[in-house]
Protein backbone atom coordinates (compact mmCIF):
# COMPACT_ATOMS: atom_id res chain seq x y z
CA UNK A 1 0.00 0.00 0.00
CA UNK A 2 1.31 3.42 -0.95
CA UNK A 3 1.73 6.02 1.76
CA UNK A 4 0.61 9.52 0.70
CA UNK A 5 2.07 12.72 2.16
CA UNK A 6 0.64 16.18 1.56
CA UNK A 7 3.24 18.86 2.30
CA UNK A 8 0.85 21.63 3.28
CA UNK A 9 -0.88 22.97 6.35
CA UNK A 10 -3.74 24.40 4.29
CA UNK A 11 -7.14 23.06 5.30
CA UNK A 12 -8.38 23.86 1.79
CA UNK A 13 -5.70 21.68 0.18
CA UNK A 14 -6.55 18.84 2.56
CA UNK A 15 -10.21 19.14 1.59
CA UNK A 16 -9.39 19.17 -2.13
CA UNK A 17 -6.94 16.26 -1.99
CA UNK A 18 -9.51 14.17 -0.09
CA UNK A 19 -11.72 14.38 -3.19
CA UNK A 20 -9.30 12.16 -5.10
CA UNK A 21 -7.11 10.48 -2.45
CA UNK A 22 -9.13 9.63 0.66
CA UNK A 23 -6.19 8.49 2.81
CA UNK A 24 -3.15 10.70 3.31
CA UNK A 25 -0.99 12.24 5.99
CA UNK A 26 -0.12 15.91 6.33
CA UNK A 27 3.46 17.00 6.82
CA UNK A 28 4.10 20.70 7.10
CA UNK A 29 7.50 22.02 6.18
CA UNK A 30 8.81 25.16 7.81
CA UNK A 31 10.80 26.06 4.73
CA UNK A 32 11.04 29.77 4.07
CA UNK A 33 9.21 30.49 0.84
CA UNK A 34 11.76 31.98 -1.53
CA UNK A 35 12.21 31.56 -5.23
CA UNK A 36 14.77 32.82 -7.68
CA UNK A 37 12.11 33.13 -10.38
CA UNK A 38 10.18 36.29 -11.19
CA UNK A 39 7.67 34.81 -13.62
CA UNK A 40 4.64 33.59 -11.68
CA UNK A 41 4.28 30.13 -13.22
CA UNK A 42 7.95 29.33 -12.60
CA UNK A 43 7.81 30.77 -9.09
CA UNK A 44 4.89 28.62 -7.90
CA UNK A 45 6.44 25.44 -9.32
CA UNK A 46 9.76 26.30 -7.66
CA UNK A 47 8.04 26.96 -4.32
CA UNK A 48 6.06 23.70 -4.57
CA UNK A 49 9.30 21.79 -5.16
CA UNK A 50 11.01 23.57 -2.26
CA UNK A 51 8.32 22.32 0.12
CA UNK A 52 9.47 18.76 -0.60
CA UNK A 53 13.10 19.45 0.33
CA UNK A 54 14.08 17.55 3.42
CA UNK A 55 11.12 15.18 3.16
CA UNK A 56 12.57 11.70 2.99
CA UNK A 57 10.33 9.21 1.35
CA UNK A 58 10.50 5.52 0.65
CA UNK A 59 9.84 4.07 -2.79
CA UNK A 60 6.20 3.43 -1.88
CA UNK A 61 5.53 7.00 -0.68
CA UNK A 62 3.70 9.53 -2.82
CA UNK A 63 4.62 13.11 -1.87
CA UNK A 64 2.46 16.03 -3.05
CA UNK A 65 3.19 19.69 -2.41
CA UNK A 66 1.64 22.86 -3.72
CA UNK A 67 2.00 26.63 -3.61
CA UNK A 68 -0.43 29.37 -4.63
CA UNK A 69 0.18 33.02 -5.42
CA UNK A 70 -2.05 35.87 -6.48
CA UNK A 71 -0.45 38.05 -9.16
CA UNK A 72 -1.35 41.39 -10.71
CA UNK A 73 0.77 43.69 -12.86
CA UNK A 74 4.15 42.50 -11.64
CA UNK A 75 3.15 42.30 -7.96
CA UNK A 76 2.73 39.15 -5.88
CA UNK A 77 0.14 38.84 -3.15
CA UNK A 78 1.02 36.06 -0.75
CA UNK A 79 -0.42 35.50 2.70
CA UNK A 80 -0.75 38.81 4.57
CA UNK A 81 1.14 39.02 7.85
CA UNK A 82 -1.33 41.36 9.55
CA UNK A 83 -4.93 42.48 9.24
CA UNK A 84 -3.63 45.84 7.99
CA UNK A 85 -1.76 44.10 5.16
CA UNK A 86 -4.88 42.08 4.37
CA UNK A 87 -6.90 45.30 4.10
CA UNK A 88 -4.24 46.80 1.86
CA UNK A 89 -4.30 43.77 -0.46
CA UNK A 90 -8.09 43.77 -0.66
CA UNK A 91 -8.10 47.50 -1.48
CA UNK A 92 -5.64 46.93 -4.32
CA UNK A 93 -7.61 43.97 -5.71
CA UNK A 94 -11.01 45.62 -5.35
CA UNK A 95 -12.84 45.81 -8.66
CA UNK A 96 -9.95 44.46 -10.73
CA UNK A 97 -8.90 41.32 -12.58
CA UNK A 98 -5.91 39.40 -11.33
CA UNK A 99 -4.44 35.93 -11.77
CA UNK A 100 -4.03 33.04 -9.38
CA UNK A 101 -1.20 30.60 -10.03
CA UNK A 102 -0.90 27.26 -8.26
CA UNK A 103 2.17 25.06 -8.66
CA UNK A 104 2.17 21.36 -7.77
CA UNK A 105 5.10 18.98 -7.27
CA UNK A 106 4.64 15.21 -7.12
CA UNK A 107 7.28 12.65 -6.15
CA UNK A 108 6.67 8.90 -6.22
CA UNK A 109 9.73 6.72 -5.99
CA UNK A 110 11.97 7.69 -8.91
CA UNK A 111 9.15 9.45 -10.75
CA UNK A 112 8.46 13.13 -10.33
CA UNK A 113 6.29 15.75 -11.93
CA UNK A 114 5.90 19.50 -11.58
CA UNK A 115 3.14 21.58 -13.16
CA UNK A 116 1.06 24.67 -12.63
CA UNK A 117 -2.42 25.94 -13.31
CA UNK A 118 -3.65 29.50 -13.73
CA UNK A 119 -7.07 31.08 -13.25
CA UNK A 120 -8.25 34.67 -13.54
CA UNK A 121 -10.36 36.30 -10.85
CA UNK A 122 -12.43 39.48 -11.05
CA UNK A 123 -13.16 41.10 -7.69
CA UNK A 124 -16.30 42.95 -6.75
CA UNK A 125 -15.83 46.65 -6.10
CA UNK A 126 -15.38 46.71 -2.32
CA UNK A 127 -16.13 49.55 0.05
CA UNK A 128 -13.95 50.16 3.08
CA UNK A 129 -16.75 48.69 5.19
CA UNK A 130 -16.82 45.55 3.00
CA UNK A 131 -13.07 45.14 3.42
CA UNK A 132 -13.14 45.52 7.20
CA UNK A 133 -16.08 43.13 7.54
CA UNK A 134 -14.29 40.56 5.38
CA UNK A 135 -11.01 40.84 7.29
CA UNK A 136 -12.79 40.42 10.65
CA UNK A 137 -15.04 37.59 9.54
CA UNK A 138 -13.22 35.41 7.00
CA UNK A 139 -9.69 34.61 8.25
CA UNK A 140 -7.69 36.23 5.43
CA UNK A 141 -4.26 35.77 7.06
CA UNK A 142 -3.85 32.18 5.87
CA UNK A 143 -4.80 32.85 2.25
CA UNK A 144 -2.80 34.17 -0.69
CA UNK A 145 -4.21 37.55 -1.67
CA UNK A 146 -6.06 37.74 1.67
CA UNK A 147 -9.19 36.04 0.33
CA UNK A 148 -10.80 32.69 -0.35
CA UNK A 149 -12.85 32.17 -3.51
CA UNK A 150 -14.91 29.61 -1.60
CA UNK A 151 -16.16 32.33 0.78
CA UNK A 152 -18.37 33.70 -2.00
CA UNK A 153 -17.94 37.25 -0.70
CA UNK A 154 -15.34 39.28 -2.63
CA UNK A 155 -15.14 37.47 -5.97
CA UNK A 156 -17.50 38.66 -8.69
CA UNK A 157 -16.50 35.93 -11.15
CA UNK A 158 -13.60 33.77 -12.22
CA UNK A 159 -12.28 32.08 -15.35
CA UNK A 160 -10.52 28.77 -14.95
CA UNK A 161 -10.34 26.12 -12.27
CA UNK A 162 -12.09 26.82 -8.97
CA UNK A 163 -9.80 24.31 -7.23
CA UNK A 164 -6.72 26.08 -8.65
CA UNK A 165 -7.89 29.29 -6.99
CA UNK A 166 -8.48 27.38 -3.73
CA UNK A 167 -4.91 26.05 -3.83
CA UNK A 168 -4.81 22.61 -5.48
CA UNK A 169 -5.90 22.11 -9.11
CA UNK A 170 -7.67 18.79 -8.64
CA UNK A 171 -8.37 18.17 -12.32
CA UNK A 172 -4.74 18.54 -13.37
CA UNK A 173 -3.51 16.65 -10.28
CA UNK A 174 -5.79 13.70 -11.06
CA UNK A 175 -4.49 13.63 -14.65
CA UNK A 176 -0.82 13.86 -13.57
CA UNK A 177 -1.23 11.04 -11.04
CA UNK A 178 -2.87 8.85 -13.68
CA UNK A 179 -0.05 9.57 -16.17
CA UNK A 180 2.47 8.59 -13.47
CA UNK A 181 0.67 5.28 -12.91
CA UNK A 182 -0.72 6.18 -9.48
CA UNK A 183 -4.11 4.56 -9.14
CA UNK A 184 -6.27 3.36 -6.28
CA UNK A 185 -3.89 4.65 -3.64
pLDDT for residue 43: 96
pLDDT for residue 163: 97
Per-residue pLDDT tens digits for 124-140? 999 999 999 999 999 99
Instruction: Please check the confidence at residue 184 and state whether its pLDDT lies above 70.
Output: no
Q: What are phi and psi for residue 133, nearest 5 degrees?
A: -60, -40
Residue 66 in 3-state DSSP?
strand
Give the DSSP letter of residue 160.
S
| Mean local confidence (pLDDT), 148-157 | 95
Does the annotation count 67 as an active-site position? Answer: yes
Identify the structural domains of the chain with CATH numbers, from first to last. 3-179 (3.90.950.10)
CA 157 vs CA 2, 84, 99, 107, 149: distances in Å: 38, 25, 12, 34, 9
Full 3-state SS string of 76-136: EECCCCCHHHHHHHHHHHCCCEEEEEEEEEEEECCEEEEEEEEEEEEECCCCHHHHHHHHH
pTM for this predicted structure: 0.93
pLDDT for residue 30: 66
Catalytic residue among 30, 60, 67, 130: 67
- As a whole number, the mean pLDDT across the chain is 92
Instruction: Give the DSSP letter string of 7-59.
Output: E---HHHHHHHHTT-S--EE---------S--SHHHHHHHHHHHTTTT----T
Q: What are phi and psi for residue 142, nearest 5 degrees?
A: -105, 20
Per-residue pLDDT tens digits for 14-59? 999 999 998 999 987 766 678 889 999 999 999 999 998 877 776 7
**Residue 145 banded pLDDT, cuts 50, 70, 90:** very high
Amino acid sequence: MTRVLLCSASPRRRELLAEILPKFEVCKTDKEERSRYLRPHLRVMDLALAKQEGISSAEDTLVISSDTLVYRRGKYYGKPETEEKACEMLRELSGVRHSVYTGVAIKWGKKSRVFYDKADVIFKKLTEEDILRYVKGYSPLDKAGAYGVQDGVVVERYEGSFSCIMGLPVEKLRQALSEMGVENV
